[in-house]
């Protein structure tokens, strides 16, 4: 019995050391911006307009915190989307409506480093039980589009 337990622990060790480090299947994607907070947000808003996407809202969480006399490091949420793509995804599964429109969160730490975070669309296939090949292709397009937008907003 002890040998089986020891073997099981040894067999699982590589999983424990690599599972936490793996980016595959991450629910949230985060990248570091080369710009300050305001510039990064402004670049995304400009990209949204240039790409013909719909900009629904920009929410300044820091300003909202100040409104209730609380402090918060710079944190801004940009809500945007492509209604055509979003409609297709909601046709795949109406529950997709809870994750749409798309959102990107911009946070800045005490060292002034701005991060861009968004939900990995691959996660939506699990969360919303999407298995249709056409729907999965649309999710992959969304993944690529979000990655490209984050990279462009964060680049000099």
pTM listed for this prediction: 0.83
- Contact of 23 with 120, CB cutoff 8 Å: no
Inter-CA distances, 17 with 9, 21, 25, 47, 74, Å: 12, 7, 16, 38, 33
Give me the helix-helix angle, 83-92 and 133-154, nearest 10°.
140
All residue ranges of the chain with pLDDT < 70 are 1-25
- Structure confidence by residue, pLDDT tens digits, 58-81: 999 999 999 999 999 999 999 999
Give the fold, CATH level 3, of 27-154.
Answer: TATA-Binding Protein (3.30.310)
């Amino acid at each position: 019995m002890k040998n089986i337990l020891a073997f099981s622990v040894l067999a699982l060790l590589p999983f424990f050391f690599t599972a936490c480090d793996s980016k595959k299947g991450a629910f949230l994607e985060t990248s570091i911006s080369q710009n300050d907070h305001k510039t990064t947000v402004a670049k995304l808003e400009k990209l949204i307009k240039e790409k013909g996407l719909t900009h629904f809202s920009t929410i300044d969480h820091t300003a909202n915190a100040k409104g209730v006399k609380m402090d918060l490091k710079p944190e801004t949420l940009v809500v945007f989307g492509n209604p055509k793509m979003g409609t297709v995804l909601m046709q795949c599964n109406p529950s997709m409506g809870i994750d749409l429109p798309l959102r990107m969160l911009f946070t800045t730490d005490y060292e002034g480093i701005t991060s861009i975070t968004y939900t990995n669309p691959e996660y939506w296939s699990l969360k919303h039980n999407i298995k249709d090949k056409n729907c999965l292709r649309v999710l992959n397009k969304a993944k690529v589009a979000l990655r490209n937008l984050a990279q462009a907003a964060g680049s000099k």
